[in-house]
């Protein structure tokens, strides 16, 4: 453990605030927490036949394991963060991780579909709590000029889980069974509990006189602009990501869906690395650039939908633009919210999950009524709205430095 990390754990905040060194060990613990959260959510999608057979239900019913998880996150994030403002942060983080350990352990051994659905909902509740904590937690570990980089490290578990964890989990589940995958997730959660307890600093909750109501946070300058951008940008992403298979099938590339998602995942990792290096100095420019890049990708997908090389290029640009999006939005929200960062982040979690659900609904309607050709215009309209909101928020939200 380096000197900086020792000062954090001992509560020597003055020495810590003067340091330019990042508490890497503590931030990587948060990254692993994000990895466990995303993998717990997405893993069933790649193992639906095996899970359905194991629980004696159809694949469509097995797919609801993903749905109830998202619902748990959606309904829990804001109320939980509102009522736990006074609770110390590390015990609260540990409670969320323990929730994953319990839920994944029960899932490993459960043979009852209803019981599995219930614990998946509880896992989603844990996810809502954890996602509301992560960015604010990372930001509190470092001085102001390193907040964006700290958030980027804490968020690196998300693209890793999507690009590497889910395919690896699906492969392992195919070899040794889906229950073993959830057992491994339980072990990871137990390791993470020890890691957090030893290496992650604790912080006090908000004092009674300093707590914020939801209304107070929502009307803070910049908060609504950031949330609107989150909703539109992530909705555009999820329309395409949820229905990438039928889009590629329309381009006679259905057999390359796995490769296309790999391209997306790899470029997303580059995106989060680039954003992490630059976000503290160029938040506004990076957010504008990411939105424009995603819009360009959407345009290419619309006008060159029968050209595989162009499609792969557009997917690369899409991954690059989306990889660091969570870091950009969470950094912007943390800076706008100040001491109310945790409550503001719970709003981001809710907006993000609404966009995920909306992507499935809106994309499904477009697919059934018009076809995959409708995706590009829909994405462009959403991204233009996001771009205008970012451009207008030059004083608060996405300030021009």
- In this structure, the answer to whether residues 144 and 226 fall within a common structural domain is no
Q: What's the pLDDT at 62?
A: 83
DSSP string, 94-118: HHHHHHHHHHHHHHHH---HHHHHH
Q: Which residue has the tokens 């215009």?
A: 377
**What are 285's two structure tokens?**
């420019």
User: Are 273 and 231 found together in one domain?
Assistant: yes
The CATH number linked to 311 is 1.20.1250.20
Q: For the chain, what is the radius of gyration of the CA atoms?
A: 21
Same domain, 363 and 238: yes
pLDDT, tens only, 26-73: 999 999 999 999 888 878 877 778 888 899 988 778 878 877 888 888
| Residue where a domain terminates, one of 195, 210, 225 | 210
Query: Which of 385, 320, 356 has the alpha carbon at shortest distance from 239?
Result: 356
pLDDT tens digits for 320-365? 999 889 889 988 998 888 877 778 888 888 888 888 878 878 888 8
In terms of residue numbers, what domain contains 388? 214-392
Identify whether the C-beta of residue 296 lies closer than 8 Å to the C-beta of residue 244. no
pLDDT at 211 over 80: no
Is residue 34 within 8 A of residue 159, CB to CB? The reply is no
Give the DSSP letter string of 145-184: GGHHHHHHHHTTHHHHIIIIIHHHHHHHHHHH-HHHHHHH
Determine, yes or no, domain membership for 398. Answer: no
Q: How many CB atoms lie within 10 A of CB 18?
A: 9
What are all long-range contacts of 362-366, with beta carbons under 8 Å and residues at least 24 apart? Answer: 362/235, 362/239, 363/238, 363/239, 363/240, 363/242, 363/243, 364/243, 366/239
CA distance 38 to 160: 9
Q: Are residues 181 and 106 in the same domain?
A: yes
- Could you say which of 153, 188, 210 is where a domain stops? 210
d(CA 75, CA 128): 8
Q: Cα 97 to the chain's mean position, in Å? A: 16
Pick from 210, 229, 250: which residue ends a domain? Answer: 210
Residue found under tokens 């809710």: 350
Q: What is the number of H-type helices and E-type strands within the chain?
A: 20, 0
Number of other residues whose CB lies within 10 A of the CB of residue 157: 23
pLDDT at 15: 38
Digit-coded pLDDT (tens) for 129-183: 998 888 888 888 988 888 888 888 888 887 778 767 777 777 788 788 899 999 9
The answer to whether residue 86 is domain-embedded is yes
- Whether 96 maps to a domain, the answer reads yes
Highest mean pLDDT among 46-50, 121-125, 171-175, 396-400: 121-125
Measured CA to CA, the distance from residue 42 to residue 69 in angstroms comes to 9
How many folded domains does the chain comprise?
2
Cα of first residue to Cα of last residue in the chain, in angstroms, is 35
Say yes or no: 233 and 348 in one domain: yes
Q: 318 lies in a domain?
A: yes
**44 and 105 assigned to the same domain:** yes
Verify that 109 and 195 share a domain, yes or no. yes
Q: Clarify whether residues 206 and 220 are in a common domain.
A: no
Query: Considering only 5-9, 285-289, 326-330, 331-335, which range has the smallest mean pLDDT?
Result: 5-9
Q: CA 158, 267, 140 angle in degrees (round to 5)?
A: 40
Distances (CA, A) of 105 to 254, 288, 316: 35, 43, 37
Are both 240 and 200 inside the same structural domain?
A: no
Same domain flag for 226 and 362: yes
Report the SS3 class of residue 395: coil
CB burial class (10 A; 0-12, 13-18, 19+) of residue 293? middle
| Average confidence score pLDDT of the chain | 86
Instruction: Determine the Cα–Cα distance for residues 401 and 390; give it in Å rounded to an integer.
Output: 14
Is residue 397, in this structure, part of any structural domain at all?
A: no
* CA separation for the pair 321, 330 (Å, rounded): 15
pLDDT number for residue 168: 77
Q: Is residue 277 located within the same domain as residue 161?
A: no
Q: Under a CB-based contact definition with an 8 Å cutoff, are residues 4 and 28 in contact?
A: no
Same domain, 229 and 184: no
Q: Is residue 58 part of a domain?
A: yes
Between CA 245 and CA 98 the distance in angstroms is: 35
């Amino acid at each position: 453990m380096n000197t900086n990390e020792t000062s954090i754990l001992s509560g020597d905040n003055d020495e810590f605030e003067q340091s330019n060194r990042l508490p890497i060990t503590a931030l990587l613990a948060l990254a692993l927490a994000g990895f466990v959260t995303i993998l717990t959510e997405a893993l069933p999608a790649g193992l639906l036949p095996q899970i359905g057979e194991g629980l004696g239900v159809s694949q469509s019913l097995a797919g609801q394991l993903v749905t109830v998880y998202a619902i748990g996150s959606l309904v829990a994030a804001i109320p939980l963060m509102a009522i736990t403002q006074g609770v110390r942060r590390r015990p609260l983080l540990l409670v969320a991780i323990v929730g994953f350990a319990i839920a994944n352990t029960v899932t490993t051994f459960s043979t009852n579909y209803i019981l599995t659905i219930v614990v998946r909902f509880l896992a989603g509740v844990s996810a809502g709590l954890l996602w509301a904590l992560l960015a604010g937690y990372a930001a509190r570990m470092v001085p102001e000029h390193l907040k964006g980089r700290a958030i980027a490290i804490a968020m690196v578990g998300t693209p890793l889980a999507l690009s590497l964890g889910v395919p690896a989990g699906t492969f392992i589940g195919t070899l040794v069974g889906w229950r073993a995958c959830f057992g491994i997730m339980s072990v990871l959660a137990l390791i993470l509990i020890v890691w957090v307890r030893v290496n992650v600093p604790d912080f006090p909750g908000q004092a009674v006189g300093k707590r914020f109501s939801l209304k107070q946070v929502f009307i803070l300058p910049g908060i609504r602009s950031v949330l609107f951008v989150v909703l539109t940008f992530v909705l555009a992403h999820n329309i395409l990501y949820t229905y990438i298979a039928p889009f590629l099938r329309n381009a006679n590339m259905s057999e390359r869906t796995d490769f296309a998602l790999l391209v997306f995942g790899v470029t997303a990792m580059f995106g989060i690395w680039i954003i992490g290096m630059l976000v503290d100095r160029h938040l506004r420019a990076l957010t504008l650039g990411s939105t424009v890049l995603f819009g360009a990708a959407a345009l290419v997908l619309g006008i060159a939908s029968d050209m595989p090389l162009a499609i792969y290029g557009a997917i690369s640009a899409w991954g690059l633009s989306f990889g660091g999006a969570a870091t950009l939005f969470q950094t912007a929200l943390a800076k706008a919210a100040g001491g109310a960062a945790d409550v503001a982040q719970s709003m981001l979690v809710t907006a993000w999950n609404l966009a995920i659900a909306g992507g499935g609904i809106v994309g499904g309607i477009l697919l059934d009524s018009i076809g995959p050709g409708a995706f590009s215009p829909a994405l462009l309209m959403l991204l233009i709205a996001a771009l205008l909101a970012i451009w207008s928020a030059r004083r608060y939200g996405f300030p021009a430095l």
